[in-house]
Amino acid sequence: MIGIGDKAPLFVAPGTDGEVDLGMLLQEGPVVLYFFPKAFTPG
């Protein structure tokens, strides 16, 4: 499990505008990741 303040592992994931590659984004500068655990769900 990733804790608060830990570095996220590099990943490639589907996004609304194509694939999201964390490694490529980090080459451009700092990245903030935010997850919506109940987005698009009936929760």
pLDDT of residue 10: 94
Show the tokens assigned to 42.
């009936």
Residues 1-43 pLDDT 10s: 888 888 889 999 998 899 999 999 999 999 987 777 776 677 6
pLDDT of residue 42: 72
What residues does 37 pair with on adjacent strands? none
Length of the chain (residues): 43
Q: What is the pTM of this model?
A: 0.62
